[in-house]
Amino acid sequence: MSQKDFLVELGTEELPPKALKKLSNAFTQGIIDRLKNAQLSFDSFEAFAAPRRLALLVKGLDTAQPDQQLERRGPAVKAAFDAEGKATRAAEGFARSNGVTVDQLEKLETDKGAWLVYRAVQQGSATTELLPEIVSQSLNELPIPKRMRWGARRTEFVRPVHWLVMLMGEQVIDCEILGLKSGSQTRGHRFHANQPMTISQPADYQSLLKEQGKVMALFEERRDIIKNQVTEVASKLGGEAVIDEDLLDEVTALNEWPVALSGRFDDEFLEVPAEALISSMKEHQKYFHVVSGEGKLLPHFITISNIQSQQPEHVVSGNERVIRPRLADAKFFFDTDKKTSLEARRETLKPIVFQADLGSLFNKTDRIAKLAGFIAKQEGGQEPLAVRAGELCKSDLTSEMVLEFPELQGIMGQYYGANDGEAEEVCQALNEQYMPRFAGDELPSNLTGCAVAIADKIDTITGIFGINQPPSGNKDPFALRRATLGVLRIIVEKKLDLDLRDLINQAIEGYKSQGVELPAGEKLTETVLDFMLERFRSWYQDEQIPVEVFLSVKALKPSRPFDFDQRVKAVHSFSQMTEAETLAAANKRVSNILAKAGDLVIPDSVDPALMAEAAEKDLAAALADSKEKVAPILEQRQYAVAMENLAPLKDSVDRFFDEVLVNAEDQQVRLNRYALLKQLRSLFLHVADISLL
């Protein structure tokens, strides 16, 4: 079968920069999946994404679908012909449904008899006939939240479209998509080469745009060039560029012909917290900032120009003029905010609603302060510092700086706290209360920060569950899942001995003390606890720990996350031992036996006088020995060591089930053997329910 290269390019107005990669990936995957579904083979493909275009080059694409052998089985020969050999209505109907006569049908001999069968060859469609629909469907299914119209057309897309290239080899695929007639002409850079260019064949696409059109169509190429240019420019400035990956992607999506240029701002602005300056440069102007070898912000920025100017100093000058008032605003906000203390700002939180049924932000800081103090006391920290940090933790939300740059919440609280003379640990906690902000983010550095971060999250989780608004499906407007993972991470990674049940109860008391009714009722604590422990499931899946291990621990519902994690790690290690499978099966068997005991009262202790079999005596001795060994180990929560010490029970357990009839006719003997098995199961239940492994 012959093959040709295929190229599709859709030319548009500037596409949303933050969505460009997502649109390109979806467009590419949509076409590739449909080519495969149509049984069209190809050698390779390459996606292109630039501000004014989405394109895909498919190399070595089949020019037609393969022919298909069709076979449809009809009625049995016995039912297809009567005694005189004439075709029945069943045979005629089957032939008619396939567009042939009965005598054109064939017979198929099988073990179960002969059948009428229709065989034919279905010729594959030409690829050029299939591509317009494939491309059109892929464009229709792009993840575009809101489509727009333009001019008098009823066509809709994320941005107005201007040209369409559809080439199969040197042939233009004649079609119309999004109101555009297909052709072979693309367009170059909006300023450097704003004229039509004819593509003679798909393989020329990338080089033609680069050499004649001043467009680097390949997203990854532009990204690498920008990264290298920014790094080089920063080095010449005597510093190091801080390259945020998301910003790099966004800038790549804004430029077709990137050129990195550096500018400068006045040293006086360095008196403003670096985070505020960086936020202003990054969010508003899409600049990369430069730091010294010690990580200190330098008065330079690097911008990416979309043109290769003959007078780059004019471009730099223009950017410097634009950034100056931005930074001046940040300095003004900072200077103004410092005139009002965080303590005074607390009063401004009273009219701000946290949640309609749960009170104001001022109320929330009261609850956080009490809960943070409780946590600090539990862990031997400085309770007064935790309380103070809790009281001030939301005060910076009403500052001019945070109102202008919401992403600076907490960060500015730390600066303003230091300006007010608050303790250093309190100031750090004002920033660290939001940690971890995202998966893999750093955790609070001190116990006060941990206490406030946990208290803030527990208060929100408990309150929202308390008014019966838990997450459902993909909807989690209060980010309770993320908050829960944050709490678990802090407690586990910081090795805190906190009990979630205690924290939830304290949070409930905090609401009650403010007169807030939580309709969820008495089951609220257990409901929230179950929700939080369930978050461990995905945690351990990410760590490649089988879900059975998680479930074996969750069955006991230990409410201390660090303890929970230690148990899971111990059971996971145990599950990889050779004895694990046998002991897990034995525990499951014991669980079933005890469950069938019904209303029988099983003794807690074993009577040696009722033991007649050597195997049960051996198991009793082994259990007594193991219990004595692991008791002090379990007290120290060394679960992995405890499980290792229990593994040798395998031989005694095997022998017991091989040689002893558990359900003996004598009830006293039977109950004594139940008691022995109860002790076996109880020993493992100090760590987990391994019957679930």
Query: For residue range 458-488, what is the model confidence (pLDDT) as tens digits?
Result: 999 999 999 999 998 888 999 999 999 999 9
Distance CA 682, CA 602 (A): 13
User: Given this model, what pLDDT does residue 596 score?
Assistant: 78
Q: Which residue has the tokens 């792009």?
A: 142
Domain with CATH 3.30.70.260 in the chain: 3-65+126-211
User: Given this model, what pLDDT does residue 600 score?
Assistant: 74
Distance CA 35, CA 171 (A): 19
Distance CA 451, CA 433 (A): 8
**Helices 561-575 and 547-554: angle between axes, nearest 10 degrees:** 130
Domain 565-692, CATH number (from 2.60.120, 1.10.730, 2.60.460, 3.30.40): 1.10.730
User: Given this model, what pLDDT does residue 1 score?
Assistant: 66
| Residue 198 bridge partners (DSSP) | 185
- For 151, other C-beta atoms within 10 Å of its C-beta total 8
Q: Does the domain made of 343-534 have the CATH classification 1.10.3210?
A: yes
Query: For residue range 196-253, what is the model confidence (pLDDT) as tens digits?
Result: 999 999 999 999 999 999 999 999 999 999 999 999 999 999 999 999 999 999 999 9
- For 153, other C-beta atoms within 10 Å of its C-beta total 11
From the list 208, 214, 259, 255, the residue with the least C-alpha distance to 233 is 259
Helix (H, G, I), strand (E, B) or coil at 382: coil
User: Given this model, what pLDDT does residue 68 score?
Assistant: 75
From the list 404, 398, 271, 387, the residue with the least C-alpha distance to 340 is 398
Q: What token pair was written down for 235?
A: 């080095």
381, 421 Cβ separation under 8 angstroms: no
61, 36 Cβ separation under 8 angstroms: no
User: Given this model, what pLDDT does residue 194 score?
Assistant: 87
Cα–Cα distances in angstroms (integers) from residue 65 to residues 1, 41, 130, in the given order: 9, 9, 9
Helix (H, G, I), strand (E, B) or coil at 22: helix
User: Given this model, what pLDDT does residue 235 score?
Assistant: 96
From the list 544, 679, 687, 670, the residue with the least C-alpha distance to 611 is 670
Helix (H, G, I), strand (E, B) or coil at 433: coil
Backbone angles phi, psi at 136, to 5 degrees: -60, -45
What CATH number was assigned to the domain covering residues 3-65+126-211? 3.30.70.260
Query: Torsion-angle region of residue 479: left (phi > 0), alpha (psi -120 to 50) or beta?
Result: left
Domain with CATH 1.10.3210 in the chain: 343-534
Rounded to 5°, the CA angle 669-673-678 comes to 145
Helix (H, G, I), strand (E, B) or coil at 435: coil
Helix (H, G, I), strand (E, B) or coil at 468: coil
Q: Which residue has the tokens 């500018």?
A: 263
Q: Which residues of the chain have pLDDT under 70?
A: 1
Residues sharing a CB contact under 8 Å with residue 539, sequence separation 6 or more, in sequence order: 485, 488
What are the residue ranges of helices labelled H in 244-311? 245-254, 274-279, 285
526, 462 Cβ separation under 8 angstroms: no
Q: Which residue has the tokens 């409780």?
A: 374
Domain with CATH 1.10.730 in the chain: 565-692
